[in-house]
């Protein structure tokens, strides 16, 4: 007998999970289940011909199905896809996982491949929403400014993407309307509705701002029409005020490149251009840190961005319990785009190893995210960031701290301490100490590893190295002390 399951199908994972669990407990094979969402049914078909599926009585504990965590994560994304086949696909996978728990690692399997393709499409749609939502200001009461945006996602991604807008546009009231639900923020509460919304009729001066911005960031020398259309697909153009400029900018690109070449002496290095292009790509991962890193890749809060190859953001997982903060990326880090990979990084890695700290479980970052240097011939000589630059970059460091919430923070050198505490003189007072910042967080202050590279006297170097390694060991012990070993 066929079993019909009717779902809302608006990206709420709970409704599918409940039905799938009951079906699985009832031993009902995937081929006997007809998954439907009301909008997929034709007129008059809202009443299913068969009895809708009813949850079965609780099964005995010995029959409780289990699934790998990775499947639940995958299912949450796939359920946001708009393909009506997603429910059946996931139930097939769930069924097959009972026989083979490693099924998801078989990437050539048709069902597995389809699910991962759907997950990727959902992720991409979410990135597009982050990039292409255009707020328009509307009249508001009180002191807060109010904005509305209209967006047309492919999938049911409003709920999963809304927290990004809450973080990014925290200090204004906004409402994002889409045919697949809406999200609103009023400074206190994020509200999400899965009900389809209608397109608001609003036009305003912010459109002109977007056009001006787009004209400025458009670089004719880097014009790749296909890549541009894949990053900003045509289907989004109708809701982007700047999109009407694109044909004209493309048409005039060649002439503009020729005039730019005439002024070639003032062009930034090619490597800089290449790295800057990365800033316009969608972020890789889904989490808050990937979004932050992506935002930071286009940071122009201080002038250092102009000469650095790229932003070197922190590296590590959101769950990291220990955070190391250095000064700023060096020459090697600036090119690699990763912190502590050059000579200072080698000293750092060795100290970590000796202390039994796994770098992949730590979060490693810098107080300043761009390389500051002075060109000397072909070499770029490191220059210490000043208080203004450190203060501008504190914004990013605070965001990293808010997301990672480490239990142990190790500040490597004076700039790290200034970035953390906003006090240029604190380092001298705190060096060599472990200070409880609050009940949960301890701050350990030690020298920067590159200080060891600069010390000419061997005995002094050995002494300082010992002190540095002891402080890193102390950080490792603190980590173990909070049960995170
Ligand atoms: N020095 C730092 O402070 N950070 C790095 O990433 C590299 C060298």
Report pLDDT digits (tens) over 30-56. Answer: 999 999 987 544 433 334 444 444 444
Contact 4, 34 (CB under 8 A): yes
Looking at the predicted structure, is the pLDDT value of residue 293 above 90? Answer: yes
Atom of ligand 1 nearest to the CA of 415: 3
Ligand 1 center to 127 CA (angstroms): 30
User: Which has more pLDDT, 396 or 273?
Assistant: 396
For residues 43 and 220, the model is more confident at 220
* Cα(471) to centroid(ligand 1), Å: 18
Q: Is the dihedral of CA 242, 168, 122, 34 positive or negative?
A: negative
Name the nearest CA neighbour of 325 among 428, 420, 440, 442.
420
Q: Using 50, 70 and 90 to split pLDDT, how confident is the model at 276?
A: low
Instruction: Check residue 218 and give its pLDDT.
Output: 62
Q: For residue 122, what pLDDT is reported?
A: 96
| The ligand 1 atom nearest the CA atom of 416 | 3
Which pLDDT does position 482 carry in this prediction? 45
Q: What is the pLDDT of residues 432-456, one digit of tens each?
A: 999 998 888 999 999 999 999 999 8
- 154 or 482, higher pLDDT: 154
State the distance from the centre of ligand 1 to the C-alpha of 342, rounded, in angstroms: 8
Q: pLDDT: is 143 or 159 the higher one? A: 159
User: What distance in angstroms lies between residue 288's CA and the mean position of ligand 1's atoms?
Assistant: 23
Mean pLDDT computed over 170-195:
91
Instruction: Return the best residue to mutate from 309, 335, 342, 368 for the ligand 1 pocket (most ligand atoms within 8 A of CB).
Output: 342
Q: What is the mean pLDDT of residues 318-328?
A: 96
Q: In the prediction, which pLDDT does 105 show?
A: 95
**422 Cα–ligand 1 center, Å:** 19
Please tell me the predicted confidence (pLDDT) of residue 463.
Answer: 94
484 — pLDDT class (breaks 50, 70, 90):
very low
Q: What is the mean pLDDT of residues 313-325?
A: 96
> What's the pLDDT at 48?
41
- Averaged pLDDT for residues 102-115: 96
- Ligand 1, CB cutoff 6 Å, lining residues: 326-330, 333, 339-340, 342, 344-345, 366, 448, 450
The answer to whether the beta carbons of residues 284 and 310 sit under 8 Å apart is no
Query: Among 311, 316, 345, which is best to mutate for testing ligand 1, by the most ligand atoms less than 8 A from CB?
Result: 345
The best mutation among 304, 315, 330 to test binding of ligand 1, ranked by most ligand atoms within 8 Å of the C-beta, falls on 330
Interval between CA 20 and ligand 1 midpoint (Å)? 50
Give the model's confidence band at 261: pLDDT under 50 very low, under 70 low, under 90 confident, else very high: low
Question: pLDDT category, 57, cuts 50, 70, 90?
Answer: very low
Measured in angstroms, how far is the CA atom of residue 198 from the centroid of ligand 1?
50
Q: Which pLDDT does position 70 carry in this prediction?
A: 94
Which atom, in ligand 1's list, is nearest to the CA of 412?
Answer: 3
Spatial contact of 94 and 68, defined as CB atoms under 8 Å apart: no
Judge whether residue 362 has pLDDT over 80. yes
Which of 366, 389, 393, 397 has most ligand 1 atoms within 8 Å of its beta carbon, as the pocket-test mutant?
A: 366
Q: What is the pLDDT of residue 126?
A: 94
The Cα-based distances of 112 to 84, 106, 147, 280 in angstroms read: 17, 7, 41, 31
Per residue in 246-260, pLDDT tens? 777 777 776 776 666
Whether 294 and 415 have beta carbons less than 8 Å apart is answered as: no
Q: What is the pLDDT of residues 426-436, one digit of tens each?
A: 999 999 999 99
Atom of ligand 1 minimally distant from the CA of 339: 6
* Percent share of the chain, pLDDT over 70: 79
- The alpha carbon of 216 and the centre of ligand 1 are apart by a number of angstroms equal to 32
CA distance 378 to 331: 12
Of 128-132, 176-180, 191-195, highest mean pLDDT: 176-180
What is the 94 CA–ligand 1 centroid distance (Å)?
46
Average pLDDT for 181-202: 88
* pLDDT score at 15: 93
Q: Which CATH number fits domain 270-482: 1.10.287.3510, 3.20.20.80, 3.90.79.10, 3.40.470.10?
A: 3.40.470.10
pLDDT for the residue numbered 227:
65
Residue from 328, 365, 396, 412 whose mutation best tests the ligand 1 pocket (most atoms within 8 A of CB): 328
Spatial separation of the C-alpha atoms in residues 121 and 127, rounded to whole Å: 10
Output the six-digit token pair for 223.
Answer: 């014009």
Q: Which residues make Cβ contacts (< 8 Å) with residue 312, sequence separation at least 6? A: 329, 333, 334, 337, 338, 339, 366, 369, 370, 371
User: What pLDDT is recorded for position 177?
Assistant: 93
Each domain of the chain, given as residue ranges in start order, spans 3-127, 133-193, 218-262, 270-482
Q: How far apart are CA 419 and CA 308, in angstroms?
A: 19
Stronger pLDDT, 50 or 9, i.e. the higher one = 9
The pLDDT > 90 percentage for the chain reads: 61
Mean pLDDT of the chain: 85
């Amino acid at each position: 007998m066929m079993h019909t399951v009717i779902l809302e199908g608006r990206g709420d994972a709970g409704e599918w999970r409940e039905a799938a669990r009951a079906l699985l407990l009832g031993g009902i094979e995937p081929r006997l289940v007809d998954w439907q969402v009301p909008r997929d049914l034709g007129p008059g078909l809202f009443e299913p011909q068969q009895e809708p599926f009813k949850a079965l009585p609780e099964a005995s504990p010995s029959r409780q199905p289990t699934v790998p965590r990775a499947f639940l994560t995958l299912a949450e994304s796939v359920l946001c896809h708009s393909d009506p086949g997603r429910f059946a696909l996931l139930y097939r996978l769930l069924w097959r996982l009972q026989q083979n728990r490693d099924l998801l690692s078989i990437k050539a399997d048709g069902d597995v491949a389809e699910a991962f393709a759907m997950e990727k499409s959902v992720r991409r749609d979410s990135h597009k929403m982050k990039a292409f939502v255009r707020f328009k200001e509307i009249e508001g009461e009180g002191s807060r400014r109010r904005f509305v945006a209209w967006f047309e996602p492919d999938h049911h991604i409003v709920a999963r993407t809304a927290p990004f807008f809450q973080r990014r546009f925290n200090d204004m009231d906004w409402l994002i309307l889409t045919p697949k639900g809406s999200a609103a923020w009023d400074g206190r509460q994020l509200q999400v509705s899965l009900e389809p919304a209608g397109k608001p009729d609003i036009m305003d001066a912010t459109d002109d701002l977007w056009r001006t911005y787009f004209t400025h960031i458009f670089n004719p020398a880097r014009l790749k029409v296909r890549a541009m259309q894949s990053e900003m697909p045509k289907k989004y153009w109708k809701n982007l005020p700047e999109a009407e400029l694109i044909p004209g900018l493309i048409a005039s690109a060649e002439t503009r490149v020729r005039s730019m070449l005439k002024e070639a002496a003032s062009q930034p290095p090619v490597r800089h251009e290449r790295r800057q292009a990365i800033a316009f790509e969608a972020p890789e991962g889904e989490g808050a840190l990937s979004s932050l890193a992506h935002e930071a890749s286009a940071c122009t809060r201080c002038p250092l961005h102009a000469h650095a190859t790229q932003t070197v953001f922190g590296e590590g997982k959101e769950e990291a319990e220990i955070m190391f903060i250095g000064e700023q990326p060096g020459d090697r880090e600036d090119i690699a785009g990763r912190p502590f990979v050059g000579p200072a990084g080698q000293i750092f890695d060795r100290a970590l190893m000796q202390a039994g700290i796994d770098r992949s479980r730590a979060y490693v970052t810098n107080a300043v995210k761009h390389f500051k240097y002075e060109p000397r011939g072909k070499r770029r000589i490191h220059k210490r960031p000043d208080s203004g630059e450190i203060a501008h970059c504190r914004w990013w460091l605070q965001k990293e701290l808010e997301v990672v919430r480490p239990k142990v923070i190790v500040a490597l050198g004076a700039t790290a301490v200034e970035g953390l505490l906003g006090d240029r003189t604190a380092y001298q007072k705190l060096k060599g100490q472990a200070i409880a910042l609050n009940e949960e967080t301890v701050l350990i202050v030690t020298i920067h590893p590159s200080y060891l590279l600069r010390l000419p006297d061997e005995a002094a170097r050995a002494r300082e190295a010992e002190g540095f390694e002891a402080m890193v060991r102390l950080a490792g012990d603190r980590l173990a002390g909070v049960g995170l070993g």
